[in-house]
Amino acid sequence: MRESKPATIENRWDILYVEYPEVYDAFVSVPKQPQMVEVLKSHFDLKEKLILDIGSGAGDSSFQLSTISKRVIGLELEDHMRRIAERKAIDLNMTNVTFIKGTALDIRLPDQTVDASVAITLPLFLEDEIRTYIREAMRVTKTGGYVINLGIAPFCYGGDLAETILGDAKVTEEDTEGVVDRILRDEFGFAYFDYEAVQTYASAEHMISTYGFIFGQRAIDEIRKTGRKHVMWTYRVHYLVK
Ligand SMILES: C[S@@+](CC[C@H](N)C(=O)[O-])C[C@H]1O[C@@H](n2cnc3c(N)ncnc32)[C@H](O)[C@@H]1O
């Protein structure tokens, strides 16, 4: 741990997951409307299913998924994140969720183990890693089961503050087809849909200490200037029936 906490980690997610997992947990716990599970529930029948949640982080996605399924296994690489999830599972008495250590690139489960593999904002961006993760997700999913990848839409890094955060590096309208889209659709035959969700913080200061801490000084300046306390996110859900 660093000697003193900075005002922001300027988009360094690697630092976030290892040194400030509690900030990620606070950020992801801020309610969104609609909630991710409401959207998944309206598109996929996950009732009575065993779900593998790939990249389960501090547990938020696994806990949400456990409310619409039978049981969830959360797979997470970072010990610091997984420990928060394990502690919360005990505190919340979530008996149908377990967490295992591991990587999406080499899932230590036998073939055809789960009814659905779901990844919620799993941060893989290298082409070969995306292919390996999808092959692994398909391998451990039973025939007829779902493989679902929910991510931030390519033009929406940081939600509707993308332009402020990225400045000149902003992904343009012409370049909204990200690498995940191309590989999942063209190589693996996934379908997809987008949806929007509004995340509402308790106050502008609350947004600065969580969202601003992660997304950087430009975001913090904008929140201070406007007093805003909400973010609109566009999510992209890729899915396939195996
Ligand atoms: C943006 S967080 C999402 C967490 C969770 N799905 C949620 O919605 O709250 C991404 C998580 O994926 C984990 N991760 C990154 N690469 C991974 C990999 N190769 N295998 C498993 N987990 C990974 C990170 O450590 C982090 O906890």
Pairwise CA distance, residues 126 & 15, whole Å:
19
Question: Is the pLDDT score of 175 beyond 80?
Answer: no
Atom of ligand 1 nearest to the CA of 59: 9
Cβ of 121 less than 6 Å from ligand 1: yes
As a whole number, the mean pLDDT across the chain is: 93
Q: What does the CA dihedral 196, 197, 198, 201 come to, rounded to 10 degrees?
A: -150
Cβ of 149 less than 6 Å from ligand 1: no
Cβ of 120 less than 6 Å from ligand 1: yes
pLDDT band, residue 118 (cuts 50/70/90): very high
Lowest mean pLDDT among 32-36, 111-115, 116-120, 168-172: 168-172
Q: pTM of the prediction?
A: 0.94
CA of residue 215 to ligand 1 center, whole Å: 17
Architecture of domain 13-241: 3-Layer(aba) Sandwich (3.40)
By the 10 Å C-beta count (0-12 exposed, 13-18 middle, 19+ buried), 71 is classed as middle
Judge contact between 53 and 72, C-beta under 8 A.
yes
The string of pLDDT tens digits covering residues 199-218 is 999 999 999 999 999 999 99
Q: What is the mean pLDDT of residues 86-104?
A: 96
- pLDDT confidence of residue 64: 96
Q: What is the mean pLDDT of residues 55-77?
A: 97
Question: Is the pLDDT score of 177 beyond 90?
Answer: no
- pLDDT confidence of residue 190: 98
CA of residue 165 to ligand 1 center, whole Å: 22
Give the Cβ contact number of residue 202 at 10 Å: 11
Q: What is the mean pLDDT of residues 88-114?
A: 97
Question: Is the pLDDT score of 147 beyond 90?
Answer: yes
Cβ of 28 less than 6 Å from ligand 1: yes
CA of residue 179 to ligand 1 center, whole Å: 18
- pLDDT confidence of residue 157: 87
> Tokens 């801020």 sit at which residue?
30
Cβ of 105 less than 6 Å from ligand 1: yes
